[in-house]
Structure 1
Amino acid sequence: MKKEWTGPLEKIDEYRYRIPKSYKSGMRTSGIIYTDEKLLKSICQDQALDQVANVAFLPGIVGSSLAMPDIHWGYGFCVGGVAAFDVRRV
């Protein structure tokens, strides 16, 4: 059964949306989704955005937890997700 996204999404501009760091206590950074309004509707149909938020909890993350337009649910880390880490901060 698919779980639809119900969390907050802030529109940054025509092709970027933000899951704010304040969404869940303990998130180290925000999540940024690169998409347009049309694709966003289908992206919100599964748990991929929850996975973007979950990556934002990881120790050592640098910058934002990112999601490209091909984002879809994966095993732990969403397919189409990107994150950079500093091993000195882990």
Structure 2
Amino acid sequence: MNLQNIRKINDYEWEIPQSFREDMRVPVHLFATHRLLEEIAGDKSLEQAVNATTLPGVVGYVAVMPDMHQGYG
């Protein structure tokens, strides 16, 4: 994912806005340093977080913690 799509809230909180993809029900809030975001931008972690925003029943935002990694779950 291109980091230009991620909005900085503060040094440790970032947002993928709900407008990023038409089917998103809520935004994604990421809790990480900029360096960590750069490291995971090449894998599927952020894509999986965006996919989670489309699930029925999700409210508020999808929170992604600093230990994010691609894979099941």
RMSD: 1.2
Q: Distance in 2 between matches of 1:17 and 1:41?
A: 12
State the identity %.
Answer: 36
Q: Distance in 1 between matches of 2:16 and 2:2?
A: 11
Structure ranking higher on relative contact order (CA contacts 8 Å, 6+ apart): 2
Return the index of the structure with the highest Cα Rg: 1
> In the alignment, which residue of structure 2 is the partner of 1:83?
none
Structure 1: 4+ residue segments shifted above 3 A: none
DSSP-derived class of the 1:71 partner: coil
Which has the larger share of strand?
1
Aligned residues: 72
Which has the larger share of helix?
2
Using the size of structure 2 for normalisation, the TM-score is 0.90
For structure 2, the residue ranges without an aligned partner over 5 or more in a row are none
Q: CA deviation at 1:74?
A: 1.3
